Chains A and B, each alone.
Chain A
Amino acid sequence: MIRSALPQHRTRAALGCRTETKVKPSSSSYLPVRGLRYHVRTWGDPSAPKVILLHGAQDVSASWQFTVDAMKKDWHFIAPDWRGYGMSQWSGSHSYWQPDLTADLNVLLAHFSPDEPARLMTHSLGGNIVGVYAGLKPERVRLFINVEGYNVPSVTIEDTPKRYTAWLDATAKEDAPPRTYPGYEAFAERMRKGNPRLTPERALFLAQHWCKEAPATVAGGGVMLRSDPAYGRGSPMCYRLDEQSQYWSRVSAPTLWVEGGQSEWLHILLKTGEYARRRACYSNLTVERFEQAGHNVHHEEPERLAELCEAFLLKN
């Protein structure tokens, strides 16, 4: 184990940030998962009950920091960076495939929770992976908290050629040079432009984990995203409601959906009328809507999220 490899709140004073909550320290460890070096961030006493935290697309394990800080009880939080994100190894492959993440999760759980089903708390992509996994392996999941991870718009079979072709065209494009930003502060500002509900303090913290200093070989210098640009090529795999429903209806773990009332994903789902159909798949579901929050509930209302999740964790 080593201490978290990234400096935290390096330039807080420069931005006039005030410390209001205690930042709980995390530790970093690495383990091989299906041939790739996975970075796993942990918080808390290893003898406390385990909770696995799974981040979303473009995000990193560190973004659970605010929620972890707001938790009142002792938990052992285990948060991997998915392959190609944060400080985990890039796959080296030209495209990423979602079932590979499902298989990675299976190996991660075998490592961290070999003998008991896991408590899983997820956001976005993380929730989508667990939605499939918990249906395939219901006996391996004790509890499933899904923050905004059930609302990917579905496609119909007739959309298949369009999706495949868009991906084919993306794979044939020349790689663009990585986009750089003058510094972490500049990236933090860009994050806040996209999401005004994010505080400057949290935006800077996230910027420092999402980005890294650009190597000398990159023109312009400054900072750039840590995530593998190969994710940007997208995937032709089709997200089909009939297929997903098969998995969801086999999930037996108590499930909590947390949704942001301002989330564009939720709005799409409500508009297409799929929301109710997806909800109906789960046999043991509680739903909580945070009216003022967008898709990134864990960045925007981590205190309320922590309170809600902690109650759910203690109850189940």
Chain B
Amino acid sequence: MDTRAIYQPRQISRSEFVNIRGLKYHCRMWGREDAPKLFMLHGSRDISASWQFTVDALKHDWHIIAPDWRGCGLSDWAQSEISYWFHDLIGDLHQLLGHFSPNEPATILAHSKGANVTQHYAGLKPERVRKFVNVEGFVVGSMNPLYSIKRMERWLARMALGEAREPRYDSLHSFAERLQRGNPRLSPDRAMWLTQQWCLEQPDGSVLQRIDPAQKRGGIYYITEGLECWKRITAPMLVVEGCSSGHAKRIHDKGEYEMRLGTFKTMVSLEHFPEATHNVHLDEPERLAEVSEKFLLQG
């Protein structure tokens, strides 16, 4: 029995399943359905439930719609036919917004890969995005086609190995500890709560993550194509960066930071979170809620 305290959500989510491009998509919803819609898009190897702490810190009424990307959480995964190309996520987002917000442009708060997908999408379909909170999205690594051979070779080699095995953890506790090691500012009660959403307990007590290891199937993404999309964004954008983010540091070190940031013509402000790593939504959810809400409600 677990004797540790477990985080008690202030707002309880409900689940909805929709068919998106042939796959069953799980969408987690919070708030009144007649409130303004706010889409929350998680990052790579993450799940929609990670937004719980940010949701709980919001002061205003929102109808929050947070999908688990394909291969994550309660959306379809572990099927040989699921393709995980970056472009697939752009196609999925297009369908998701068409389903939940067919007649009005969407307000989106997105983290990491989710924000990267949104950056592309908001440039491709500027009329479909109203406002965009971009959390650590433009610092995600990528490749230049001119230096692609090494990456393609590595990808081919991974493909030749066959499907990856999911690492197992001894118990929910051991996974919660791993979450805390990766996110030192995540409190034990939050780590334990998130673990329960994140993992699938096996009959022998071991746990598996609800994240498809086969996501390595789609691994090629070009920065040059991205920049071409990003510069077409028209939605006002708030950019959030974790000051201890390894992702941001790598992009600074590569000398690409200013160039990437410079493509955003409609950036309203850039907020630095001094205490946060890449996972701003786990490290400083209260402040993320505060700055996002301020940006979303102004003008």
Contacts and interface: CB of A to CB of B under 8 A. Distances in A.
Interface of A: 34-36, 91-95, 97, 99-100, 102-103, 106-107, 110, 132, 135-137, 157-158, 160-161, 164-165, 167-168, 171-172, 235-238, 240, 242-243, 246-247, 250
Interface of B: 21-23, 79-83, 85, 87-88, 90-91, 94-95, 98, 120, 123-125, 145-146, 148-149, 152-153, 155-156, 159-160, 162-163, 217-218, 220, 222, 224-225, 228-229, 232
Contacts of B159: 34, 103, 106-107
At the interface, is chain B mostly helix, strand, loop or mixed?
helix
A95 B83 contact: yes
Given A106-B160, A243-B146, A168 B81 contact: no
Contact of A238 (B94, B95, B149, B225): B225
Contacts of A107: 159-160
Contact of A93 (B82, B156, B220, B232): B82
At the interface, is chain A mostly helix, strand, loop or mixed?
helix
A167 B95 CA distance: 13
Given A172-B98, A243-B146, 6 more contacts: A36-B80, A92-B22, A97-B87, A99-B152, A164-B87, A168-B94
Contacts, number: 112
Contacts of B79: 92
Contact of A168 (B125, B146, B155): B125
A235 B82 CA distance: 16
Contacts of B160: 103, 106-107, 110
A35 B163 contact: yes
Contacts of B218: 97
Given A34-B159, A91-B83, A157-B225, A165 B124 contact: yes
19 contacts: A34-B159, A35-B81, A91-B83, A92-B22, A93-B83, A94-B23, A95-B87, A97-B85, A99-B155, A99-B220, A102-B152, A136-B149, A136-B152, A157-B224, A164-B229, A168-B91, A236-B90, A238-B222, A243-B145
Contacts of B152: 99, 102, 132, 136
A48 to B, nearest CB: 27
B90 A172 contact: no
A103 B90 contact: no
A171 B156 contact: no
Contacts of A137: 153, 156
A106 B157 CA distance: 9
A168 B124 contact: yes
A107 B163 CA distance: 13
A115 to B, nearest CB: 16
A136 B81 contact: no
Contacts of A160: 224-225, 228-229
A135 B94 CA distance: 35
Contact of A242 (B81, B82, B98, B145): B145
B83 A236 contact: no
Contact of A167 (B80, B91, B145, B156): B91
A131 to B, nearest CB: 13
Nearest to B229: A161
4 closest A-B pairs (Cβ-Cβ)?
A92-B81, A35-B80, A243-B145, A103-B159
A229 to B, nearest CB: 12
Given A103-B160, A171-B91, A135 B22 contact: no
B86 to A, nearest CB: 10
Given A91-B83, A171-B95, A250 B125 contact: no
B165 to A, nearest CB: 15
B188 to A, nearest CB: 39
A235 B222 CA distance: 15
Given A106-B160, A164-B120, A171-B21, A157 B83 contact: no
Contacts of B155: 99, 103
Contacts of B123: 161
A106 B156 CA distance: 8
B94 A161 contact: no
Contacts of A132: 152
B52 to A, nearest CB: 30
B68 to A, nearest CB: 17
A167 B87 contact: yes
B81 A91 contact: yes
Nearest to A132: B152
A164 to B, nearest CB: 5
Contacts of B88: 93-95
A136 B229 contact: no
Contact of A102 (B120, B156, B217): B156
B94 A172 contact: yes
A47 to B, nearest CB: 27
Contact of A97 (B81, B83, B98, B124): B83
A103 B156 contact: yes
B146 A246 contact: yes
A98 B90 CA distance: 17
